[in-house]
Structure 1
């Protein structure tokens, strides 16, 4: 039920993001979702890709500082309050969300929300008990 996320440390310089995407494209790696958080001097690019192991190797070989992190991908109804329902379940068991990002899946009329939490196994267990749809890595990579 865990999804492997690629994180890339980037200097906040013109062209660095283009370099990452070029390396991924040259290695036939397709980006499924991304998020970037930046400061004045650097940013952290977080990616869900179709082949995380190949992406990690390609970016590492190209000289980027790269790491992998396990995250959870949850399908949330694309209705008002859909995300609130999931967040409240996690809040009720004191699971803190470090960050999240999302995108809409038109085919299913649901949002896919990617969560990073400290207690990932506990979060998966409590979400499953509450009938929240958690997608495994192979399904997310194939989107």
Structure 2
């Protein structure tokens, strides 16, 4: 079972209504968005999504002319208290890795929070976090929350 979670990255022009269009397409397909992040530059934006049906979403967005990429991320469960994020980042620093980006997952699992990470070396980060007993969630677990 893979501990990495599939994420879609959609490239969009910085133009009014593009985000609304994408979310409408996804809604029409009956797909649930579990987490998302939007980053932008002067020229374009990147919408990162974790959805409950990656293939269906990718196909629908491509059919509507969007450029869609697929990458793997790690979903790390942390205690929802002071220092939760700092503890993860301390481990990543100890193994000399960079965080390419991160965002928070909207749901909580009981008393914990879930953070989504992309690291420069995903395998090294995975091993380091597992060795230190961090809980990593699968794509199925994320979609079940």
TM-score (norm 1): 0.96
* Uncovered stretches (5+) of structure 1, i.e. residues with no partner: none
Aligned match of 2:115: 113
| Aligned mate of 2:77, from 75, 78, 93 | 75
Q: Which residues of 2 match residues 32-71 of structure 1 at below 5 A?
A: 32-71=34-73
Aligned match of 2:138: 136
Q: Which residues of 2 match residues 81-96 of structure 1 at below 5 A?
A: 81-96=83-98
* Uncovered stretches (5+) of structure 2, i.e. residues with no partner: none
Report the count of equivalent residues. Answer: 143
RMSD: 1.1
Q: Which residues of 2 match residues 26-37 of structure 1 at below 5 A?
A: 26-37=28-39
SS at match of 1:33: strand
TM-score (norm 2): 0.94
| Aligned mate of 1:122, from 124, 133, 137 | 124
